[in-house]
Every structure is written in structure tokens, then in C-alpha cells.
């Protein structure tokens, strides 16, 4: 109890009058009353039951940010706590804690706040499921907002509490958007909310951006015939709802916004929706809606937004669409709409965005009167069949900032009147029939804000102007993207490009431009994308281009302004369907000079272009060696040097390009051994074909046999005679030996009833020898296959001949895998047994005795989650390893190659694979003696049996290829996307490095994405960085594979995501051990099993 002593002021003795004393006493009493009021406030406290409930609620939470503490323990009065409001009875009526970084789950105790009317926990990190009784809060809640969290699972049912119903209010707003909820909406909840809507209280219901399924319950919210619904917002967008939109919306007379886009809705748009006359927004994009738009839509005169894009709508735009005078956004693109644009469309004078691209509209575009659309800012009519000239009335639309009329049948010239569009920054008229490129460029220089200009595939066979007097040198100062490809231009690369100091993307491909590449291109400070392919250019590769600032300095490249484009652009003039870019940051830093007549050598200075991602020099006449300096292009993803006159060897240093995913030197004059290791172990035969002097496993050409051929020298003089004599003697000797062998074979035939079996074996041996350079006279003991105990597969004395027949002489048709240590072949034995034979490649530097010792040591690694080594064969320089054949192939195949992954690779299966693979890796790290560092954990090295049980493959193979010294190597180990960051600093493979790689595999299982995807935007190409960024932004639920969402496993996936992110920690010492990983994953599994039991 708090006490307060009030000191009553003593009367002041004076000779003042009696009225003055009276006033003084009044003052004392007022002061005493105020102090007593303060005492009451201090003594009073909130309801103890509510306080205990709030403390129980906070016990399940943590704050992710140290700068946002709740400080609920600083005061005994919970009514004064942050986010809490009480009523006059000191009961909690408002709990509001948005944007507080709250982690944890919502405690079931919150339902004890029986006076609560407002609950707002939006924009936090809350997870877990809602308690089964959570919606009992709706018996007294007015506002419920749980949006932008990570709450998962199905929504619990609603149970009415009739005892509290009379004293409580009715729900007005429900917002469950942007969570991980799944399943169908509970009928009891929907019916209660529908009753609230009919009763005049429910105003807003938002469940967007979740994984809800089933049919959207529109008709329940809008009871036909009553028109009493108070509902104003109904948002079902970004879910997995399917089925049709049921009739009933028309009864929602007050409904203003109806959103159900990005679902799988089918059927037609119900006609009664046009009776909901208060509608201002209809948003149904990215569904499977069919039928027509419906003429009734013109009755919705309050409509400001109509989004029906990316459906399968057919028919015409309603002829009276102009009745929608309040319409601001009309998005009907990517449908099958036909006919001409109704003239009344031009009466929609408030239009700001009009997008009708990718339909089948036709008609004379210049016949339409656009002059009344004074607010129009974005117009996209591309990919239709419009004819006529550029509409002259369009130039009256002074607010236009982006215009795209590409891929139509427009003709004529660009008029000077276009200069009235001084706000225009984006203009694309590609793929039409425009003429007079000189006049067009001269006029367009007057649009000072123009930043994107796409005129590709026009002006057929004209001369590209090169006179700076024709093109205003002050024009195009702000151009960032210039597309003039596919026009069949003649002439030379124009000098006025030198004035475009902000130019970032330049496309002059698919023309007939001649002359040399000007050296001054190297002075453009922001140029990072150059496409001059498919022209008639001659001369050399200008060394000045190797100093392009945006391609030599990452800092300079980062400073290049990569803005979002107002509308998509298509960077390659002849590939518009696949090269669409919506933002400049998506375009890779690239140089495309292919298919010209360039000559000379590739400058060694090219190694300065360290920011370059793609380099294409194919189909030219470049000669000389491939510069070793290309290995300095550390970000290179594509290198195409095919069909030139290059000679010499392929630099071994190129294997250090760890992001290289496409490589071709085909059809040159290269020689020597193809490098191995790094990305070179992933390139196929087509990357090297057409080079007769190259050798290596990938092209099935033995370097040993080639060396023997190359070492043969001409013989002259007396030495020639001596050698001829020796040859004659040798022939007689060989004849004698063959005679003896023939007699011996005939004698064996009389004894052995094997028939022609020996003949078959000899033919197989000969075929093998011809393909591999192995001499046919082989010691039979050296050809035996060593099978380890109890692993004979019912086959006795397996030989190299058996393997040759089982693999059809190692036919390419039997290749089932290609990894860093060689090719893997499927071998089918006569008794039906199927084996996997790995033919090792690389530097087989171990002596035979050492090799056999290492192999037999590896054979002791036996675990149910390992692909156990069953045997081996050392055969005249070739070394074969024999494994069990895994029926389902690799995890990589199931995640990234198959189209029908959904039904078989569900979340329980993926979790089982993760758990099994971790156990296999754990055995290698902790139990196997000596401990084995795998060095190349990746999804293609995790194989699956017929039950989708994981088996880790290719472990310990580095010991067979290189001398084994605590795993220290002279090259970066691993595979692109899986390589730990520390391997680039210290070339030592470690246990923690394996954990990093395994973390990447976990991310693959969760996201369904490859570790590196060059087709993704720059910021999303590397899986680890993208996931970490999304997680930091609180969007981790958006990284999950779409086929996994909405199946009720979100909580488990979030736990595995946490494990994966621990594994890929940049600091290796903060990563868990594999034992900890195994335990964490098993705990996820035990939770799942417990759920199934319940």
C-alpha cells in the first residue's frame, strides 16, 4: 500500500480581511483534492487477472531488436504498460504492439482477456499455430489485426459464447494477411463473420498472401435480397483458392474493394458482381478466368481500378466502357481479347495507367482520339495487331511518362509533335514498320528526359546516321538504354554515341554494320552491356574496351544507376520472348561480339574486366592463344569462344572461374589436355568438339594415345633400313606367337564347352582397347574386379570383360552421372544385377599399391546413408569403382530436372532426405576412421533409393586422385554455389566446410532453387545470399518452394531454414558441427511423428 502524507499549509497571519482568508482556504482544499486524486491513481492498478494474462503472454515472446524493449516490468500498473489501454473498470480493452520485432508465438492465455476489443500484433515475427480457442476472442473483439507475421497452420474454428455476446460488440475488422496460414477457411468462422456483415458491423476481411485453399466464400458475406451487408473490403488475393467465384457479391451494396488475384480461380466472372454499385476496385489478375468481361461492368460507375490481367478472357472490351469515367487503372494485358478498341474508351478521362499488351486487338490505332486522356502516364499497347500510324492525338497526353507500342504493325515516321511529351522517359516502338531512322533520331533528341529508347526491328535496310551535325550533340544526354537491333542497318557504329555519358545498355545486334569497333566506346563511364553481335564488323578487339569503368571496377559498377523500368524491355532483338527485363539491375554485365568478322588476338588486358559476367566472341576469326588472364574475370558466368582460329592449349587457370556455367571453345585449333577440376568437370563434349588435338575424359580421347601419336617422328637414312629390318624380324616373331596362341585356344575349346565366349571376350577387349588406347594384350589378373566380402551380387569372378559388356564398352548411352571425379555408367549384368561404375578421371598419381590400399580403406565406410563402395578394378591405367545402383538417381535430378516433382517430393520426403543425408555425413565426420572430409557435398552427390532414402556418394574420392596430406590441395575444392567462403582464403577442405555445403543442400530442399541461377536477377542469383536477405527482411516464408506451401508444414520448414542458415554462416567457427545438425533435424522429425500420432 502506498501512503501519502499531506502537509496542510498553516494559515498566514496577517491583518488581511476575512474574504482573503476565505479564498486561501478554498485554495488549500483544491490542492488537497488534487493530491488525493493522484493518490487514488497511484494506489489503483489494473485487473490482476488481466495482468497475469499479459505476463503469460509476454513469457512466450522475445524482442529481436534491443532498441525496442517492452519494459512491462517497470510498473505494477499494467494499464500504464506500452501498448495497453484499459477502460474505466481497469480492464484491458486494447493490446496494440505493431512493428515491435516480437518473436515467439501467441500464448493461449490471451483468450482470458475477456474485455479485449482491439488486438493489433501486426508487422512482427510471430510464428506457430493459433490456439484452438483463439477465435473465442471474436465474441468481444472489434478489431483483429495479425497481418505480416509468420503464423502458420490452419485457422481454428469459432465457437460462440452466448453469455458474453450481449455485453460485447461485434467484429468490425479482421486482417490475417501476409502469414503462413493454410487449409480452408473454417465454416464456423465464415458464418459468424457473415452474420456480422449482415448485422452491419463487419467492414473489412483480409486474408491475402497466405496459402488458403478451397473456394472463396463470397456468397456467405453477401446475402442475396437483403443488401444489408456492411462489408467494404474483401481481399482473398495471393493464396491457393480454386474453383469458381460464386454468385452473391451483388448483394454487398456497400462493397468497395474486391480482390482475389494470384489464385487458381476458374470459370467466368459472375454477372451479379455488377450490381455491387459501390465497387471502386476489382482485382482478379493471375487466375484462370474464362469467358468475356461482360457488358454489365459499365454499370459500376464508381470503379477506379479494374485489374483482370493474365487470365484467359476472350471477346471484346464492352462498347460502353467509357461510362466508367472514374477509372484510373485499366489492366487487361495477357489475355485473349479481340476486336478493336471501342471509341468510348477515350472517355475514361481519369485514366492514369492503360495496359492492353499481349492480346489480339486490331484496327487502325491512329483513328482513336487520345487527346482527352490528359492524366495518362503509362500506355502499353504492345504485342497486338494494331495498324496505322502513331496516333497524332497521343501527343496531347502531356503526362505520359512511358509508352510501349512494340510488336504491332504500325508504319510511317515519328512526327515532331512527339516533342510535346516532355515528361516521356520510356519509349518502345520496336518490331513495327517505321521508316526514316535519321529523322526519328533527330526528333527524339529533343525529349530531354528520355532514358529508355527501344526502336529495334524497324527502318529495314536503312543507313544508320553517323553525322554529328544531324544528331544534336546535346540530345540523348539521359539515355540509359538504347535498342537499335534487328534493323538490318548498314553503315558504321555512329560517333554520336560518344555523347551518351549515361548510356548503360547498348544493343546494335542483328544489323549489317561494318567497319571496326571504335576505341572511344571504352570511355563511356556507365556502359556495362554491349551487344554488337550478328553484324559485319572487322578489325580487332579494341584494347581500350578493357578499361570500361563499369566493367573494371565493382565500385564503379555499383554506382551505375540501376533503376526500375517503367515497362519491360527486350534486350535481344530476335529473342523477345525470353529476354525480358523489368529492371536494369537484372541485365548481366556483358560483351556480345559474336558472329562478326573480327580478327587478331584476344587482348591479354581483357583480364581487367573483373565485373564482366558474360563474354561472347564466337563465330569470328580470332587467332592466337586463349589469354591466361581471362582467369582474372572472377565473376564470369558465360564464356563463348567457339568457331574461331584459336590455337594452343586451354589455360588450366580457367578452372578457377568458379561461377562459369557456360563454356565453349568448340571448332578451333586447340590442342593438349582439357583442364580438370572446378567447373570444367561439369562441361560436356559439345564445349570442346571440333578440336582434333584436344584430349581428355570428357571427349573420350586419351591423352596418352595422343602423346604417342604426336611423338612419332620421320625416319631417314640408314636408321630407316635398320628399323625396317627389325620390323621384319618382329613380324616373324609375332607370327610364331600367334600360331602358338591359336593352338592353345583351340585346345581350350576342346576342353571348355563355352563355345564362342572367348571370341566375344576378345572382341570386347579389342573394342575397349580401340576406344581407350589400351593395348589388347592385358594380364588377366590385372583385369580382375575385386569385390569386397559379401558384396558379390551373385556374380563370381567378375572381370573387366563383364564390365565392358555390361556397359556396352562404356557407351555414352549408359552414362548416368558426371561429377568432379569422372563419369558414372550403368552396368547391367546378365543375371539382371545393375551396378554403377565410376570411371575415375583426373591426375591418377597414386601408385597401384597405394590406390588399392586407399580403396580398401574406403570400403570400410559402411552406413545405411552412404553409397557403399562394393569393389574396384585397376586396368592398364584405368581405375574403376563399383557401387550399388540407386534407382531414383540424384536429389539434384528430382529437385531441378523433373517436371513432375510435386506429387513425389513433398515436404515429409524432403525432410527424410535431409535427415538421412546428415546422418551419412555425420558418420564420415565422426565415426569413420580416419575421419573423412567429403569436399564436395551437393545435391547431385546425394542419391536416392526406391524409397527416397538418401545415400551420400563420392566421399573420399579426393584421396584417390591427389596425395592425401590432411586434405590440403592446391586448388579451390567443391562445386559452384556450394563452396564455403573461407576456401577462397585458405585452400584447406575442412569439416566445417562440409557443413556449409550441406546447408546449401538444405536450402535447395526448402526453396527448390539451384545454388546459382544466372537467369535470376543479379541480387537473387546466389541462393545463400538471397535467402539471407529475404530472412533479414522478414520474408523468409516467401523463399519456400511454392509446391510446399499451404500443406501444413510451415513451422517445420522454418525450423529447417534456421538450421540451414546456421550451416551457411560466413564465420566457419559459428557453424554447428554435423552432430548438432543431425540432432536438430531429428528433433524436427520427432515433432512431425508426434503430430502424426496425435
What gap in Å lies between CA 678 and CA 759, rounded to an integer? 42
Question: CA angle, 459 as apex, 453 and 463 as ends, to 5°?
Answer: 100
Helix axis angle for 907-922 and 991-1007, nearest 10°, is 170
Q: Burial code of 926-936, b = ≥16 C-beta within 10 A, e = fewer? A: eebeeebbbbb
CA 131 to chain centre: 34
Instruction: List the grid coordinates of 690.
Output: 571440333
- Does 756 participate in catalysis according to the annotation? no
Q: How many residues does the chain have?
A: 1094
Closest CA to 89 of 167, 16, 145: 167
The answer to whether the CB of 1011 falls within 8 A of the CB of 978 is yes
Contacts of 205 (CB under 8 A, 6+ apart): 174, 193, 197, 221, 231, 233, 234, 235
Is the backbone of residue 335 left (phi > 0), alpha (psi -120 to 50) or beta?
A: beta
The answer to whether the CB of 510 falls within 8 A of the CB of 569 is no
What gap in Å lies between CA 434 and CA 453, rounded to an integer? 14
What gap in Å lies between CA 294 and CA 272, rounded to an integer? 10
Instruction: List the grid coordinates of 380.
Output: 502499353
- Beta pairing class for 834-840 and 822-828: antiparallel
What gap in Å lies between CA 836 and CA 769, rounded to an integer? 21
DSSP letter at 66 equals: T
Q: What is the DSSP string of 422-480?
A: TT--EEE--SSEE--HHHHHHHHTT-TT--EEE--S-STTPBPP--TTTS-TTTTTT--
Of 145, 235, 640, 936, which residue is the catalytic one?
936
The answer to whether the CB of 869 falls within 8 A of the CB of 834 is no
Which helix (H) or strand (E) is 750 found in, with range?
helix 717-751
Contacts of 414 (CB under 8 A, 6+ apart): 390, 429, 434, 436, 439, 440, 443, 444
Q: Burial code of 377-412, b = ≥16 C-beta within 10 A, e = fewer? A: bbbbbbbbebbbbbbebbbbbeebebbbbbbbebee
Sign of dihedral through CA atoms 1074, 1075, 1078, 1083?
negative
Is the backbone of residue 794 left (phi > 0), alpha (psi -120 to 50) or beta?
A: left
Rg (CA), the chain: 38
Instruction: List the grid coordinates of 180.
Output: 503462413
* Three-class DSSP category at 248: coil
Which helix (H) or strand (E) is 822 found in, with range?
strand 822-828
> In 508-620, at which residue ranges do the beta strands (DSSP E only) sit?
529-531, 564-570, 580-583, 590-592, 599-601, 614-616
Instruction: List the grid coordinates of 30.
Output: 483544491
Which helix (H) or strand (E) is 266 found in, with range?
strand 264-267
Phi, psi for residue 243 in degrees, rounded to 5: 80, -170
Neighbours of 419 (CB within 10 A): 15
Ligand-binding site membership of 1070 (annotated): no
- Binding-site annotation: residue ranges for ATP: 839
List active site positions: 936
Amino acid at each position: 500500500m502506498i501512503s501519502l502524507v499531506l502537509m496542510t499549509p498553516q494559515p498566514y497571519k496577517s491583518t488581511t480581511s476575512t474574504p482573503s482568508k476565505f479564498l486561501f482556504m478554498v485554495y488549500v482544499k483544491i490542492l488537497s483534492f488534487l493530491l488525493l486524486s493522484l493518490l487514488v491513481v497511484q494506489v489503483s492498478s489494473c485487473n490482476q487477472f488481466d495482468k497475469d494474462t499479459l505476463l503469460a503472454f509476454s513469457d512466450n515472446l522475445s524482442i529481436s531488436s534491443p532498441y525496442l524493449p517492452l519494459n512491462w516490468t517497470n510498473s505494477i500498473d499494467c494499464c500504464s504498460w506500452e501498448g495497453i489501454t484499459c477502460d474505466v473498470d481497469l480492464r484491458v480493452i486494447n493490446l496494440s504492439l505493431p512493428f515491435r520485432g516480437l518473436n515467439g508465438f501467441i500464448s493461449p492465455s490471451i483468450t482470458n482477456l475477456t474485455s479485449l476489443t482491439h488486438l493489433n500484433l501486426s508487422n512482427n515475427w510471430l510464428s506457430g499455430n493459433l490456439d484452438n480457442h483463439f477465435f473465442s476472442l471474436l465474441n468481444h473483439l472489434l478489431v483483429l489485426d495479425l497481418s505480416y507475421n509468420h503464423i502458420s497452420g490452419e485457422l481454428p474454428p469459432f465457437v460462440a459464447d452466448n453469455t458474453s455476446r450481449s455485453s460485447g460488440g461485434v467484429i468490425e475488422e479482421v486482417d490475417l494477411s501476409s502469414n503462413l496460414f493454410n487449409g480452408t477457411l473454417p465454416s464456423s468462422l465464415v458464418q459468424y463473420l457473415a452474420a456480422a456483415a449482415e448485422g452491419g458491423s463487419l467492414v473489412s476481411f483480409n486474408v491475402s498472401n497466405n496459402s488458403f485453399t478451397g473456394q472463396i466464400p463470397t456468397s456467405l458475406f453477401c446475402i442475396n435480397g437483403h443488401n444489408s451487408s456492411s462489408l467494404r473490403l474483401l481481399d482473398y488475393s495471393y493464396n491457393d483458392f480454386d474453383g469458381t467465384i460464386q454468385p452473391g457479391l451483388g448483394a454487398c451494396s456497400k462493397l468497395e474493394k474486391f480482390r482475389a488475384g494470384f489464385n487458381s480461380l476458374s470459370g467466368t466472372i459472375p454477372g451479379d458482381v455488377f450490381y455491387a454499385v459501390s465497387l471502386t476496385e476489382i482485382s482478379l489478375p493471375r487466375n484462370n478466368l474464362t469467358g468475356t468481361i461482360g457488358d454489365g461492368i459499365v454499370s459500376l460507375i464508381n470503379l477506379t481500378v479494374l485489374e483482370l490481367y493474365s487470365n484467359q478472357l476472350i471477346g471484346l472490351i464492352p462498347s460502353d466502357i467509357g461510362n466508367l469515367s472514374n477509372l484510373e487503372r485499366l489492366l487487361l494485358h495477357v489475355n485473349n481479347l479481340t476486336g478493336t478498341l471501342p471509341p468510348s474508351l477515350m472517355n475514361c478521362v481519369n485514366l492514369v495507367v492503360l495496359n492492353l499488351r499481349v492480346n489480339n486487338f486490331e484496327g487502325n490505332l491512329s483513328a482513336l482520339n487520345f487527346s482527352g486522356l490528359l492524366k495518362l502516364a503509362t500506355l502499353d499497347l504492345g504485342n497486338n495487331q494494331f495498324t496505322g500510324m502513331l496516333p497524332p492525338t497521343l501527343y496531347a497526353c502531356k503526362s505520359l511518362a512511358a509508352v510501349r507500342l512494340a510488336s504491332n504493325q504500325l508504319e510511317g515516321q515519328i512526327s515532331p509533335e512527339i516533342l510535346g511529351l516532355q515528361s516521356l522517359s520510356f519509349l518502345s516502338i520496336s518490331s513495327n514498320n517505321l521508316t526514316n531512322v535519321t529523322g526519328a533520331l533527330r526528333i527524339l533528341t529533343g525529349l530531354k528526359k528520355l532514358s529508355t529508347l527501344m526502336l529495334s526491328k524497324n527502318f529495314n535496310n536503312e543507313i544508320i546516321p553517323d553525322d554529328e551535325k544531324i544528331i544534336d550533340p546535346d540530345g540523348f544526354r539521359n539515355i540509359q538504354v538504347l535498342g537499335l537491333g534487328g534493323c538490318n542497318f548498314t553503315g558504321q557504329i555512329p560517333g554520336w554515341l560518344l555523347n551518351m555519358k549515361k548510356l548503360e545498355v547498348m544493343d546494335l545486334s542483328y544489323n549489317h554494320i561494318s567497319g571496326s569497333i571504335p576505341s572511344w566506346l571504352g570511355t563511356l563511364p556507365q556502359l556495362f552491356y554491349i551487344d554488337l553481335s550478328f553484324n559485319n564488323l572487322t578489325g580487332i578487339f579494341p584494347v581500350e574496351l578493357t578499361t570500361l569503368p563499369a566493367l573494371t571496377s565493382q565500385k564503379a559498377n555499383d554506382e551505375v544507376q540501376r533503376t526500375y523500368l517503367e515497362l519491360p524491355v527486350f534486350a535481344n532483338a530476335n529473342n523477345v520472348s525470353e529476354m525480358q527485363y523489368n529492371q536494369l539491375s537484372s541485365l548481366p554485365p556483358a560483351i556480345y561480339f559474336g558472329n562478326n568478322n573480327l580478327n587478331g588476338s584476344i587482348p591479354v588486358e581483357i583480364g581487367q574486366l573483373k565485373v564482366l559476367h558474360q563474354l561472347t566472341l564466337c563465330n569470328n576469326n580470332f587467332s592466337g592463344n586463349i589469354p591466361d588472364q581471362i582467369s582474372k574475370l572472377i565473376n564470369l558466368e558465360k564464356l563463348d569462344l567457339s568457331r574461331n582460329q584459336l590455337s594452343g592449349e586451354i589455360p588450366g587457370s580457367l578452372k578457377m572461374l568458379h561461377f562459369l556455367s557456360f563454356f565453349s571453345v568448340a571448332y578451333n585449333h586447340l590442342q593438349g589436355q582439357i583442364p580438370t577440376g572446378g567447373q570444367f568437370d561439369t562441361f560436356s563434349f559439345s564445349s570442346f568438339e571440333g578440336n582434333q588435338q584436344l584430349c581428355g575424359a570428357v571427349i573420350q580421347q586419351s591423352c596418352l594415345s595422343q602423346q604417342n601419336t604426336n611423338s612419332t617422328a620421320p625416319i631417314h637414312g640408314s636408321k630407316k633400313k635398320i628399323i625396317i629390318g627389325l620390323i621384319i624380324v618382329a613380324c616373324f616373331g609375332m607370327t610364331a606367337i600367334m600360331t602358338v596362341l591359336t593352338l592353345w585356344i583351340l585346345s581350350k575349346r576342346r576342353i571348355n564347352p563355352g563355345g564362342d565366349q572367348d571370341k566375344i571376350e576378345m572382341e570386347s577387349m579389342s573394342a575397349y582397347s580401340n576406344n581407350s588406347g589400351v593395348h589388347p594384350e592385358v594380364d588377366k589378373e590385372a583385369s580382375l574386379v575385386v569385390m569386397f566380402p559379401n558384396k558379390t551380387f551373385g556374380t563370381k569372378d567378375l572381370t573387366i570383360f563383364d564390365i565392358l559388356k555390361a556397359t556396352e564398352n562404356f557407351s555414352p548411352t549408359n552414362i548416368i552421372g558426371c561429377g568432379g571425379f569422372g563419369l558414372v555408367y550403368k552396368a547391367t549384368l546378365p543375371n539382371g544385377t545393375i551396378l554403377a561404375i565410376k570411371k575415375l578421371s583426373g591426375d591418377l598419381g597414386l601408385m597401384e599399391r597405394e590406390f588399392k590400399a586407399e580403396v580398401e580403406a574406403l570400403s570400410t565406410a559402411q552406413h545405411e546413408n552412404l553409397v557403399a563402395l562394393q569393389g574396384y578394378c585397376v586396368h592398364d591405367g584405368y581405375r574403376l569403382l563399383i557401387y550399388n545402383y540407386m534407382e531414383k538417381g540424384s536429389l539434384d535430378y528430382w529437385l531441378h530436372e523433373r517436371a513432375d516433382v510435386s506429387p513425389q517430393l513433398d515436404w515429409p520426403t524432403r525432410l527424410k532426405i535431409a535427415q538421412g543425408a546428415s546422418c551419412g555425413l555425420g558418420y564420415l565426420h565422426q565415426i569413420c576412421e580416419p575421419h573423412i572430409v567429403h569436399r564436395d557435398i551437393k545435391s547431385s552427390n546425394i542419391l536416392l533409393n526406391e524409397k527416397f532414402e538418401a545415400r551420400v556418394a563420392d566421399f573420399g574420392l579426393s584421396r584417390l586422385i591427389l596425395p592425401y596430406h590432411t586434405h590440403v590441395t592446391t586448388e579451390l575444392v567443391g562445386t559452384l554455389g556450394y563452396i564455403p567462403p573461407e576456401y577462397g582464403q585458405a585452400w584447406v577442405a575442412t569439416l566445417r566446410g562440409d557443413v556449409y555445403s550441406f546447408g546449401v543442400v538444405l536450402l535447395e530442399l526448402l526453396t527448390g532453387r539451384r545454388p546459382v541461377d544466372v537467369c535470376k536477377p543479379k541480387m537473387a542469383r546466389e541462393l545463400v545470399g538471397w535467402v539471407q536477405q529475404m530472412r533479414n527482411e522478414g520474408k523468409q516464408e516467401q523463399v519456400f518452394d511454392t509446391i510446399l506451401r499451404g500443406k501444413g508444414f510451415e513451422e517445420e520448414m522454418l525450423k529447417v531454414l534456421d538450421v540451414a542458415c546456421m550451416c551457411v554462416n560466413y564465420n566457419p567457427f559459428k557453424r554447428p558441427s554435423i552432430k548438432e545438425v543431425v540432432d536438430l533435424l531429428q528433433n524436427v522429425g520427432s515433432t512431425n511423428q508426434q503430430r502424426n500420432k496425435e
